[in-house]
């Protein structure tokens, strides 16, 4: 947690236009310490709160939902495979790597990110490949309540 707070402090200072010296001065005035490494989690939180008072608005870190239901289904299927322990790399990067490996030869070119897919045939290819993988792995997909 401390490392993520330190990163947030650096981002906040950058967004507020504070250089290194100004950041050290702020840290010293709030906690009595000028080094982030010497601070406890509570002290780092004080710095973050001060940056928020000064106008820093941290982003959530979560990506928005995929723009289309068919693309969201791809993410749901990938997540189910991840929950079942079938994936070496369960995140978005792993999904994009899977799509590149699996379809680059047959499609010719593959978008950099799954949410950039627009061709319904390509989207269906990915959905069918993931459903087949789930079937081979014996994963029962619960379609109730999924939209």
The string of pLDDT tens digits covering residues 19-74 is 999 999 999 999 999 899 999 999 999 999 999 999 888 876 666 666 688 889 99
The 10s digit of each residue's pLDDT in 88-113 is 888 889 999 999 999 998 988 888 88
**Global confidence as pTM:** 0.56
Residues 46-77 as b or e (16 or more Cβ within 10 Å = b): ebbebbeeeebeeeeeeeeebeeeebebbbbb
Which range, of 1-5, 88-92, 130-134, 143-147, averages the lowest pLDDT? 143-147
């Amino acid at each position: 947690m401390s490392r993520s707070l330190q990163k947030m402090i650096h981002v906040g200072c950058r967004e507020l236009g504070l250089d290194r010296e100004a950041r050290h001065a702020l840290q010293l005035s709030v906690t009595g310490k000028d080094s982030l490494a010497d601070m406890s989690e509570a002290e780092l939180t004080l710095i973050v709160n001060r940056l928020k008072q000064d106008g820093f608005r941290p982003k959530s870190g979560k990506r928005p939902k995929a723009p289309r239901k068919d693309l969201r289904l791809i993410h749901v299927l990938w997540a189910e495979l991840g929950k079942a322990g079938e994936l070496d790399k369960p995140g978005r990067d792993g999904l994009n790597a899977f799509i590149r490996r699996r379809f680059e030869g047959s499609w010719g070119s593959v978008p950099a990110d799954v949410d950039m897919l627009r061709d319904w045939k390509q989207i269906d290819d990915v959905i069918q490949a993931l459903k087949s993988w789930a079937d081979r792995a014996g994963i029962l997909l619960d379609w109730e309540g999924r939209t």
